[in-house]
Structure 1
Amino acid sequence: MASTSYSSIQKSFRYDVFLSFRGEDTRNNFVGHLYQALKHKGIETYSDDEKIEKGKMINEQLIKSIEDSRFYIIVFSKKYASSSWCLDELVKIMECQKTSEHTA
C-alpha cells in the first residue's frame, strides 16, 4: 500500500504576495513604491487599488485574492486599525496563515 506525503502536495497560488494596507495612508507613497519594486522583480503581487466606501463589507473577490496568495505583507499605518475593512482583511489573513501553505 503506497503512502502519500502531504508535504509533497503543494497548492498553486495566483499571487506570490498580498499587500494589506490603509489606502489613504500609504497607497501613493510607501505601498506604491513597494508594489512597483516587487513587480519589477517578477513577484506577482495583489494590491487592492479600489477606494472603499466607509462601512462597506469586504467583498468576495478580495477574500479570494487573500486565499490565492502565498505570502502577506501587512503595512500597519497610523489609521490602519481604524478601518473595519483592513481589520476584516487581517482576520482573513490570520485564518489563511494557520494553514502551512500561507505565510504572513
Structure 2
Amino acid sequence: MKHQVFLSLGEDTRLNFSNHLVNALENVGINVFPDNETLKKGEKLPLTYSRAISASNLSILVLSKAYASSKSCLGELSDIMDRKHNPTDKHIVLPIFYHVDPSDVRNSGGHFKTSFEEHESEQPADRVQQWKTAFAEVGKLKGWHIEGGKFDR
C-alpha cells in the first residue's frame, strides 16, 4: 500500500504528540506510516521503513530533544533528504521543531551536539557526517516550531 505520509519521530514524542498527530491525520483519511499500531509496537524494521519512505509523497519529521540520539531516526532522516534531492521524486519534507530551537538543528548545537559526539565515537565518520549534513539541512527548512507548554499536549 502506498503511504501518503511517512512520520519520523523521536521516542520522546511517541506516546504523546506524535500519537495525536497520527490520529488527526488518519481521522481525515490520510494514510500514515508508521500508523498507531506500529507506533505502539515500537518495532523498527529498517527495510520496511526505507520502503515506506520511498512509497510516501510527504515526510513529516518530529524533531525533538531525543531525535538525534537515535541512529535509526538519523538513518531515516538521511533517506528522506536523499529522496527530497531526487528531482524525479518531488518528495515534500515538513519539519516540526518540537520543544527544540531550529537554530540548534541547523548548527547541531545544544543537546544535539552531545548526541553527535557520541555517534562519532561509535560510528564511521562518513556516516556521522552524512547524518549531520541531513540534520543541518532539515534545520533550514520551513516548518512548525512548537515551543512547548501545558497547552500543546
Verify: 1:101 aligned to 2:90, yes or no. Answer: yes
Change (3 A) 1:68 1:26: same
Show the counterpart of 1:71. Answer: 58
Show the counterpart of 1:3. Answer: none
| Equivalent in 54, 63, 67 of residue 80 of structure 1 | 67
Offset of residue 101 of structure 1: 2.6
1:103 is aligned with what amino acid?
I
Show the counterpart of 1:41. Answer: 28
Question: Which has the larger share of helix?
Answer: 2
1:19 is aligned with what amino acid?
L
2:2 is aligned with what amino acid?
R
Task: Provide the TM-score with structure 2 as the length reference.
Answer: 0.53
What is the rounded CA distance, in whole Å, between the counterparts of 1:26 and 1:59 in structure 2? 20
Tell me the number of residue pairs that the alignment of Structure 1 and Structure 2 aligns. 87
Secondary structure of 1:28's aligned partner: coil
- Structure 1 residue runs without a partner (length 5+): 1-12
Show the counterpart of 2:10. Answer: 22
Secondary structure of 1:18's aligned partner: strand
Poorly superposed stretches of 4+, deviation over 4 Å: none
What is the rounded CA distance, in whole Å, between the counterparts of 1:52 and 1:22 in structure 2? 13
What is the rounded CA distance, in whole Å, between the counterparts of 1:97 and 1:87 in structure 2? 15
- Structure 2 residue runs without a partner (length 5+): 94-153
Verify: 1:91 aligned to 2:82, yes or no. Answer: no
